[in-house]
Amino acid sequence: MTTTSSTRARTGRITFFVALAVFAQESTWNLYDSQVPPLLREHLGSAALIGLLMGMDNVLGIFLQPWMGNRSDRTRTSWGRRIPYLVVGMPVAALLFLLIPHAAASLPLLILTMFGYALVANSFKPIAESLLPDFVPPERRSRANAVVKIAASLTVLVAALISIFLIDTYPKLSFAIPAVLMVVSLVVLAANVRDSRSPAYRSAVEEEREQAAPTARVRDTVLDIVRDRDRSRLLLIVAILLFGGAWAASRALITPYGMEVLGLSRGEAGGLALPSGVAFIVAAYPVARLAERFGRLRVMAVGMTVFAAGMVLGTAVATPAGVVTGLCVASAGASAFLVNAVVVLWNLAPSTRVVGTYTGLYTVGWVGGGFLGPALIGGLVDLTGWPLLLLHVAAVALLAVLAVARVDVLQRRSATGRAL
């Protein structure tokens, strides 16, 4: 009983610190996404060019995050393998973020500062998230990750409040608030966490000592996934790509959908997805508990099906209230995937030595879907019209359900006993 209680206390403690770090990081990213486009608009008249520059961070993330996750997997210091990168990266990212509004007078300087921030912030993003599987045992990772996802979701509200109350009057001070949050969270994290004491770090060091082999490079890890006869890991990454595309399209295209189909103004259409954010936060922790009880893959598949059903409901009841209700149902269902998918990928990793790399590969799948999904579904809308947008989103989500169901079948056949 004492051991169980101490494990729970340790899990809760590290979950709080990781959630705090992710909250601080995502606060800067959300304000970046909402307030940097107006700064670019002062110099550029092309929406496409502004979109291209705003997408730069996603391109960097695809290449940087798996590599940096792998670098941290291979690092050995008295502070561990993750904390040293955070101690260096987070203050530098905070400083660059703080400089963005000061650089806005010159387009080249603004782009350079944006690039610097995106480069540094992408470098440590998977590292902070990888602290979770380092400390938290596989069977409790879903509820821990749910807390982290809730913290990340709350940053949307933080960015919105800063935009509403401060950005017009204090445009430069507004950028200082998330920057200070990031530095404060780092101080708290560094003062309380040494991941050299984590079970995963100790296991990795012991494994290396026994096998006398270094941690695999990113290329080796990818080849291992592709060549594995058990396609579970590859299929899961495909599912992440597909569902990431469906999720991104449901967010990126909902405003023009509201204007074209529901006859709403731009502002009214832009607010359609707001209640669904609350639905996500409310559902995240319960679906994590359900996943730990009934199986993550099964709960993910059910949640993704609910997401698709919400899209169908929004199509069938094509009124503002009907679409808002459908989006709320869909977000509650999507939380089952968003909370558990990376946990399943962590638990499928062959060794604790590569969990950082797997965190980066999750990001590649999710961001790749974010790139391709809106374009693919937008193309289908061009062919069939805006009224069928949500049905196209549902169809892509159901393809992801099939991929997850296949992973579930493969894992049941393998009987590995991993916490999936």
Q: Which CATH number fits domain 218-414: 1.20.1250.20, 3.10.180.10, 3.40.47.10, 1.20.140.10?
A: 1.20.1250.20
Report which residue type is found at 296.
Answer: R
Angle at 381 between CA 361 and CA 41, to 5 degrees: 70
Classify residue 80 as left (phi > 0), alpha (psi -120 to 50) or beta.
left
Grade residue 367 by pLDDT with cuts at 50, 70 and 90: confident
pTM: 0.85
**Mean local confidence (pLDDT), 322-338:** 94
More confident residue, 121 or 251: 121
Per residue, the 3-state secondary structure of 227-241, as one string, reads HCCCCHHHHHHHHHH
Q: Which CATH superfamily is domain 2-211 in?
A: MFS general substrate transporter like domains (1.20.1250.20)
Question: What's the pLDDT at 47?
Answer: 64
SS3 106: coil
Burial label for 191, CB within 10 Å (0-12, 13-18, 19+), is exposed
Domain residue ranges in the chain: 2-211, 218-414
User: Does the pLDDT value for residue 1 go beyond 60?
Assistant: no
Q: How many CA atoms lie within 13 A of 333 on its CB side?
A: 25
Instruction: Residue 115: name the closest of 134, 128, 133, 96 by CA.
Output: 96
Q: How far apart are CA 269 and CA 115, in angstroms?
A: 31
More confident residue, 309 or 264: 309
**Tens of pLDDT, residues 42-60:** 888 776 687 678 777 878 8
CA separation, residue 146 to residues 39, 143, 312 (Å): 34, 5, 26
Question: What's the pLDDT at 206?
Answer: 84
Structure tokens at 17: 């610190």
- Percentage of the chain beyond pLDDT 70 is 94
**Tens of pLDDT, residues 373-406:** 888 888 888 898 899 999 999 999 999 999 999 9
Question: What's the pLDDT at 170?
Answer: 83
Instruction: Residue 407: name the closest of 228, 246, 141, 224 by CA.
Output: 228
Classify residue 254 as left (phi > 0), alpha (psi -120 to 50) or beta.
alpha
**Tens of pLDDT, residues 76-128:** 888 888 889 999 999 999 999 999 999 989 999 999 999 999 999 988 888 88
Those residues with Cβ within 8 angstroms of residue 237's Cβ, 6 or more apart along the chain or in another chain: 225, 345, 361, 362, 364, 365
DSSP 126-161: HHHHHHHHHHS-GGGHHHHHHHHHHHHHHHHHHHHH
Q: What is the chain's alpha carbon radius of gyration, rounded to the nearest angstrom? A: 21
How far from chain centre, in Å, is Cα 230? 26
Grade residue 418 by pLDDT with cuts at 50, 70 and 90: low
**Mean local confidence (pLDDT), 154-180:** 82
- Percentage of the chain beyond pLDDT 90 is 35
- Yes or no: say if 352 and 319 are a contact pair by the CB < 8 Å rule: no
- What is the residue-averaged pLDDT of the chain? 87
Do 218-414 and 2-211 have the same topology in CATH? yes
b vs e for 232-257, b when ≥16 Cβ sit within 10 Å of the residue's Cβ?
bbbbbbbbbbbbbbbbbbbbebbbeb
Instruction: Residue 17: name the closest of 263, 236, 197, 195 by CA.
Output: 195
